[in-house]
Amino acid sequence: MKTPNRIAPLVALTFAALLATPAAWALPKIKVLATGGTIAGAQASQADAGYKSGSFSVEDLIKAVPQLKDLAELSGEQIANIGSQTMNHEVWLKLATRCNELLGQNDVEGIVVTHGTDTMEETAYFLSLVVKSDKPLVLVGSMRPATAISADGPINLYNGVALAANPEAKGRGPLVVLNDTIHYARESQKMHTTRMDTFHSPNRGIAGMMNTGKAFFYSQNTTRHTTKSEFSVAGFTTNDLPRVEIVYSHVNLGGETIDFLASQGVKGIVLAGVGDGNSTDAVLAALERAVKKGVAVVRSSRVGSGVVDRNVEVNDDKLGFLAGMELNPQKARILLMLGLTKTPEVKQLQQYFLEY
Ligand code: GLU
């Protein structure tokens, strides 16, 4: 007697059900928004230490990593093609607007932004405050140009696309991925001029690790960002962003630069102070004069990590200063700029530095 085959119909049924469910076979739709940087850079020759950022287009970048087609259905847009040392508010507004538009579409599951590493942490933090979506948004770059020996761009892009397509990356705010490491936008910081392990998250630690496209998250992002951020640049032009400048402290610094900035009508000054956000008596006196003229002053630190808290060595209450808390000067500039679009009140501005 023939034994009835009970397995075959089950296999056939499961296979038919899988085929009938588009989600089971459709790859996630991911957009690559390219802005330039070394990842798109070319050298004159392979042994050349010099190179030009932004030499390749977004299509070139995608084509250079054929394995990407197994991860996602990709399409690219060129937002800019610049070295990120020339990143500017105009490109930021264009990028933020495009991220909001695309992430608002049902057919886009995530975005990868390719970007130079010099100012990547600033763009990532800006986007974390003004993009209104919990879908994955990942920034990738490279330390070696596309034409270099052992270029790191292809693996970084591969990891970036894999992460943007990963539901685990949702709700974490923009992520920075380089050198197999995932950083939260607010924590990320470029800390070496040339090495591939240049990005660190010195205060709260890294978000996780990548292993050839596989993500391992180690921590949660507990600060306010994206859908929980109250800041928006919808409808903004660059004139809507108040001018905030950074002054770098050092031995023997005088107050002239600060007096000059205040006379030019800047709305905010961030002190990249020594140690715990401190400076010379002349600088503190000039900052006090600036506050009296209506300039918002934030004390941050040039040391690269740690917290600048209120009223430790400097009497912020008396002088009318804000403490930058965990933000480095370049990120404190961004939060102060966006904060000033909402209020000039010191108490409320300080609250932003505690929450974002
Ligand atoms: N200046 C370049 C840039 O930021 C070099 C740094 C890089 O991309 O790695 O675009």
Q: What is the pLDDT along the chain (356 residues), one digit of tens a residue?
A: 445 555 555 545 554 554 455 444 799 999 999 999 988 877 777 667 777 777 789 999 999 999 999 999 999 999 999 999 999 999 999 999 999 999 999 999 999 999 999 999 999 999 999 999 999 999 999 999 988 899 999 999 999 999 999 999 999 999 999 999 999 999 999 999 999 999 999 999 999 999 999 999 999 999 999 999 999 999 999 999 999 999 999 999 999 999 999 999 999 999 999 999 999 999 999 999 999 999 999 999 999 999 999 999 999 999 999 999 999 999 999 999 999 999 999 999 999 999 99
Structure tokens at 325: 């808390």
Return the pLDDT at 8.
Answer: 54
Structural domains present in the chain: 27-228 (3.40.50.1170), 242-355 (3.40.50.40)
Of all residues in the chain, what percent are helix, strand and coil, respectively (each to 5)? 35, 20, 45
Angle, helices 281-292 vs 256-263, to 10°: value is 10
Q: In whole angstroms, what is the distance from residue 209 CA to residue 268 CA?
A: 37
Residue 335 CB–ligand 1 contact under 6 Å: no
Active site residue 38: yes
Return the pLDDT at 54.
Answer: 74
Residue 118 CB–ligand 1 contact under 6 Å: yes
Return the pLDDT at 184.
Answer: 98
Instruction: Give Cβ neighbours of residue 355 (< 8 Å, ≥ 6 apart).
Output: 223, 224
> Cβ(115)–Cβ(137) under 8 Å?
no
Residue 143 CB–ligand 1 contact under 6 Å: yes
Mutate which of 35, 38, 86, 113 for ligand 1? The one with the most ligand atoms within 8 Å of its CB, which is 38
Please give the number of the atom of ligand 1 that sits closest to the Cα of 143. 9
Return the pLDDT at 9.
Answer: 53
Burial group, residue 242, by CB count within 10 angstroms (0-12, 13-18, 19+): middle
Residue 221 CB–ligand 1 contact under 6 Å: no
Residue 116 CB–ligand 1 contact under 6 Å: yes
The protein residue whose alpha carbon is closest to atom 1 in ligand 1 is: 83
| Marked catalytic residue, from 3, 21, 38, 223 | 38
Return the pLDDT at 136.
Answer: 98
Please give the number of the atom of ligand 1 that sits closest to the Cα of 39. 8
Return the pLDDT at 45.
Answer: 72
